[in-house]
Amino acid sequence: MTPRIWLLNGPNLNLLGEREPHIYGHSTLADVESMCQEVAARHGLELFCHQTNAEHQMIEWLHAARKDAGVIINPAGFSYHHVPVLDALKMVECPIVEVHISNVHRREAEWRSHTITTVAATGVISGLGIQGYRYAVEFLAARIAGLA
């Protein structure tokens, strides 16, 4: 059975490349997914990519992913006050890598650095642009192979 990892993106990331490119860059979510699919395929992993602006949909995907090989999540706006997303993350039994494209600790609004979802993550990648997603796939591949 091919190990399966989930790449989940939260609110407004469907507009990646258009929304505030001075912060998030010009790459699109399709670019991110394509890059991650290439890395996953190189490691023999199946990658499910999803994006939602709806909290209930994110929770459903987390429930579905909870016993798979790994989850990469950019919770975006769900990071700050969405306790149901945090609760769903806490039910996930596999490694979770939380990714933020910008460095949330250097952003203009202090509240952005207070992500409640981080407590459920195995690790966090923040501020490395879309390359953070690649590093998350590489980490999970190493973890699945027993190397991390």
What residues are annotated to the active site? Answer: 24, 100
Gap between the terminal Cα atoms of the chain? 21
If you count them, how many residues does the chain have? 148
From 143, 27, 93, 110, select the one nearest 9 (Cα to Cα): 27
Q: Give, for 133, the enclosing helix (H) or strand (E).
A: helix 131-144
- Side chain identity at 63, as an amino acid letter? H
Half-sphere exposure at residue 61, Cβ-oriented, CA atoms within 13 angstroms: 23
Instruction: State the angle between helix axes of 29-42 and 131-144 in degrees (0 to 180), rounded to the nearest 10.
Output: 30
Tokens of 78: 């769900």
